[in-house]
Amino acid sequence: MSLVGKKAPLFVAPAIENGGTTTELNLADYVGKQEVLLFFYPKDFTFVCPTELFAFQSKLADFEAKGVKVIGISTDTAETHWAWLNTPKNKGGIEGVKYPLVADEAKTIAMNYGVLGGDYNYSDEGELIFQGEAPIAYRGTFFIDKAGVVRHESINFFPIGRNVEEFLRIVDAWHHFEEFGEVCPAGWNKGDDAMNATHEGVADYLANH
């Protein structure tokens, strides 16, 4: 089920930040203070994942300027995160990524956000088994407002990389709605006309676009 409009599941988990500092990241620390862009990725030392992590890093200053904290998360261990962050880019690493990478080793965070690639169940013999694609996270992305409510979510299958620019657009659209009370039509970008959420507002917008 979608988490949009609901409170984001809170968690406390180990994270590696600034390329090597180990911390305990508590999502509750941001509630009431800062918006969060939380993104799940499948696995360290893989192929599409580093392109996404570097894409988020390249736009990190833009997210921060909008008051948004970027947090990455996978089901790898903190030690694997540390190793990947300290491996040079030309050797398959992500050296230079500065935002925190959370270690969801127990896979409970991915399960709570609905992005784990399957489910655990019991076989006819009573053995715990995994059923699904793989016991790692899909490419889930969640924009969480200051009140801790999810305002956007998207989930991609493993081979499909994300467009980071779209999440900046989502943030801008939410900020526009909060500031002006106007809704943002299809393809809206910051600086474009928005519209009032009334039949008259829609008619006026469509008549001029």
Long-range contact set of residues 1-6: C-beta below 8 Å, sequence gap at least 24: 1/114, 2/153, 3/113, 3/114, 3/142, 3/150, 3/153, 4/150, 4/151, 4/152, 4/153, 5/149, 5/150, 5/151, 6/149, 6/150
Distance CA 193, CA 28 (A): 35
Question: Which token pair is 139?
Answer: 């490419």
Distance CA 41, CA 208 (A): 41
Please confirm, yes or no, whether 49 is among the known catalytic residues: yes
Q: Choosing from 13, 15, 38, 49, which is the catalytic residue?
A: 49
Taking Cα atoms as reference points, which of 152, 134, 133 lies closest to residue 142? 152
Angle, to 10 degrees, between the axis of helix 164-180 and the axis of helix 48-58? 40
Give the bridge partners for 195, in sequence order. Answer: 183
Task: Report, as residue numbers or ranges, the catalytic residues.
Answer: 49
